[in-house]
């Protein structure tokens, strides 16, 4: 054996050790330490946050699906419709408050990068305080929300009566739901996406057990479904609060007296600025998605069904891409706080490598098996035939959308929320502007063109502004 063989075997051993010790990369960094200096482990760092985030994203809609499954065995089609209507009301309300998660993650990640435990605690306390206030406000305004939802949705009297019973029980969980938004964002900022995954899985399991027990053993009907969901959401909140003590053992309950809700060390101005920008961004986003559904509904039930199926595939892609966007929130925020410019830029490049891979995979899957995937959602021959002309738009969704998703995560990490707002406003202007143009195409093709250009507009704006966002004024790129 020559001396030159020993390093070679050592290199092979190290590679094998890294491969089989991948689980070690799932451990979160110390909350009091600054971000690491090297870039060699960035891919594993990205996967450490992205994979649990993808699992969490996939489990989120399961909560409503389990409610529907249990409702389907109560014995009335109206119950299923009521669960759907009730779920739509909460989606409309809670979506608007998603800024609580986004705003918490970027600021926490930057505090983590600086090793600033005081700011980490301050973000958590302030986000929880605001989420509880808004949760109580939603509860107090439940009747006006109920009245507005009835005007917008206009269900049948039988369905609405059941939906109200479901809604008036689930509304009690509003403070818990919003607090979980804030906690999940804080966990991501603390470079820990496993805890939100564990909480989401635990919530779903408890929801199934509690709802099934209340419906089938307690004979509570749709009220049992709602109560089971409320129980699971408060259980998730309690679990999340306990897990904060693992990351920051003295973050909340160990503090005494007036220090419990002290925001010392936190730039509250930045906190409210970030959340304000994201709130108005969410209004623009809701305007586009609501308009897309409304414009599609005007073309009849058949094309509405087609658009609904295609949007489900858009959402499926977003679940995977958002996992890497969440990794961007955590890592870009971490390196921004640590003032490690080279690590931050290297992280952005690697994030787009992974996002490009996910985009290529989904584009290939939709190209080869788009029709077969639609058959998993419906066996209605008329809907499947009507969907065929619109499948090419499905192929453009990943290509035009992935950059917008990734930049959102990166911009949140950099707390460049004003540019996020501008990009969404620009994309919304493109959507409505193209829709109002008289084009020589059918209305639904016109609608999908507007939507694709909306995604492209968001991506374009953020790509152009990326240099300004990612590069400090005194740092040459």
Q: What is the pLDDT of residues 77-111, one digit of tens each?
A: 778 778 878 888 888 889 889 899 999 999 999 99
Report the C-alpha gap between 274 and 416 in whole angstroms.
8
Look at residue 19 in the predicted model and tell me its pLDDT.
Answer: 38
For the chain, the helix, strand and coil percentages under 3-state DSSP, each to the nearest 5: 80, 0, 20
Look at residue 367 in the predicted model and tell me its pLDDT.
Answer: 93
**Structure confidence at residue 52 as a pLDDT band (50, 70, 90):** very high
Contact assessment for residue 59 and residue 323, using Cβ atoms and an 8 Å cutoff: no
Residue 49: both structure tokens together: 């946050």
Look at residue 364 in the predicted model and tell me its pLDDT.
Answer: 95
Look at residue 6 in the predicted model and tell me its pLDDT.
Answer: 35
Look at residue 39 in the predicted model and tell me its pLDDT.
Answer: 60
Report the largest interatomic distance among the alpha carbons of the chain, rounded to a whole angstrom.
Answer: 86
Residue 233: both structure tokens together: 């959401």
pTM of the complete model: 0.84
Asked if pLDDT for residue 72 goes beyond 80, the answer is: no
**Structure confidence at residue 301 as a pLDDT band (50, 70, 90):** confident
Asked if pLDDT for residue 303 goes beyond 60, the answer is: yes
Q: How far is CA 460 from CA 168, 285, 382, in A?
A: 43, 17, 37
* Structure-model confidence comparison of residues 289 and 32, the more confident one: 289
Compute the average pLDDT of residues 385-390. Answer: 91
Asked if pLDDT for residue 324 goes beyond 80, the answer is: yes
Report the C-alpha gap between 227 and 213 in whole angstroms.
11
Look at residue 130 in the predicted model and tell me its pLDDT.
Answer: 94
**Structure confidence at residue 40 as a pLDDT band (50, 70, 90):** low
**Structure confidence at residue 249 as a pLDDT band (50, 70, 90):** low
Compute the average pLDDT of residues 440-461. Answer: 93
Look at residue 124 in the predicted model and tell me its pLDDT.
Answer: 92
Asked if pLDDT for residue 10 goes beyond 60, the answer is: no
Contact assessment for residue 333 and residue 417, using Cβ atoms and an 8 Å cutoff: no
- Arithmetic mean of pLDDT over the chain: 84
Residue 50: both structure tokens together: 């992205």
Taking only the tens place, the pLDDT of each residue in 11-25 is 443 443 443 343 344
Contact assessment for residue 365 and residue 420, using Cβ atoms and an 8 Å cutoff: no
**Structure confidence at residue 265 as a pLDDT band (50, 70, 90):** low
Report the C-alpha gap between 405 and 392 in whole angstroms.
21
Look at residue 1 in the predicted model and tell me its pLDDT.
Answer: 40
Look at residue 334 in the predicted model and tell me its pLDDT.
Answer: 96
Report the C-alpha gap between 348 and 370 in whole angstroms.
30
Look at residue 38 in the predicted model and tell me its pLDDT.
Answer: 54
Look at residue 24 in the predicted model and tell me its pLDDT.
Answer: 40
Compute the average pLDDT of residues 363-369. Answer: 93
Q: Picking from 56-65, 285-294, 362-371, which range would have the lowest pLDDT averaged per residue? A: 56-65
Q: What is the 3-state secondary structure (H, E, C) of 195-237?
A: HHHHHHHHHHHHHHHHHHHHHHHCCCCHHHHHHHHHHHHHHHH
């Amino acid at each position: 054996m020559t001396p030159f063989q020993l390093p070679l075997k050592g290199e092979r051993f190290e590679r094998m050790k890294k491969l089989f010790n991948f689980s070690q990369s799932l451990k979160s960094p110390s909350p009091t330490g600054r971000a690491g200096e090297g870039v060699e482990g960035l891919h594993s760092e990205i996967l450490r946050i992205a994979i649990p985030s993808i699992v969490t994203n996939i489990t989120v809609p399961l909560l409503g699906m389990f409610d529907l499954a249990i409702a389907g065995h109560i014995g009335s089609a109206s119950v299923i419709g009521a669960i759907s209507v009730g779920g739509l009301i909460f989606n409309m309300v809670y979506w608007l408050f998603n800024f609580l998660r986004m705003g918490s993650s970027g600021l926490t990640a930057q505090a983590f990068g600086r090793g600033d435990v005081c700011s980490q605690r301050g973000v958590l306390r302030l986000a929880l305080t605001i989420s509880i206030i808004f949760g109580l406000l939603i509860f107090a305004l439940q009747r006006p929300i109920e009245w507005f939802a009835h005007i917008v949705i206009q269900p049948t009297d039988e369905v609405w009566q059941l939906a109200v019973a479901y809604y008036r029980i689930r509304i009690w969980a509003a403070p818990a739901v919003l607090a979980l938004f804030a906690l999940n964002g804080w966990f991501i900022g603390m470079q820990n996406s496993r805890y939100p995954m564990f909480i989401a899985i635990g919530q779903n399991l408890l929801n199934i057990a509690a709802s099934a027990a209340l419906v089938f053993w307690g004979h509570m009907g749709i009220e049992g479904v709602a109560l089971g969901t409320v129980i699971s959401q408060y259980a998730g909140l309690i679990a999340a609060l306990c897990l904060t003590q693992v990351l920051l053992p003295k973050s909340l309950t160990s503090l005494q007296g007036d220090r419990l809700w002290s925001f010392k060390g936190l730039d509250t101005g930045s906190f409210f600025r970030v959340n304000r920008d994201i709130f108005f961004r969410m209004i623009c986003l809701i305007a586009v998605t609501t308009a897309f559904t409304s414009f599609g509904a005007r073309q009849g039930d058949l094309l509405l069904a087609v658009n609904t199926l295609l949007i489900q595939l858009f959402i499926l892609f977003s679940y995977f891409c958002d996992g890497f966007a969440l990794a961007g929130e955590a890592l870009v925020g971490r390196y921004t706080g640590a003032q490690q410019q080279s690590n931050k830029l290297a992280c952005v490049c690697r994030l787009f490598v992974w996002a490009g891979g996910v985009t290529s995979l989904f584009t290939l899957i939709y190209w080869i098996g788009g029709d077969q995937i639609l058959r998993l959602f419906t066996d209605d021959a008329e809907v499947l035939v009507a969907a065929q002309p619109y499948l090419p738009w499905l192929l453009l969704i990943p290509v035009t959308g992935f950059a917008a998703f990734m930049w959102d995560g990166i911009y949140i990490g950099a707390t460049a929320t004003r540019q996020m707002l501008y990009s969404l406003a620009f994309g919304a202007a493109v959507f409505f502007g193209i829709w109002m143009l008289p084009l020589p195409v059918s209305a639904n093709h016109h609608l999908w063109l507007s939507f694709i250009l909306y995604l492209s507009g968001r991506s374009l704006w953020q790509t152009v502004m990326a240099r300004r966002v990612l590069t400090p004024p005194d740092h040459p790129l």
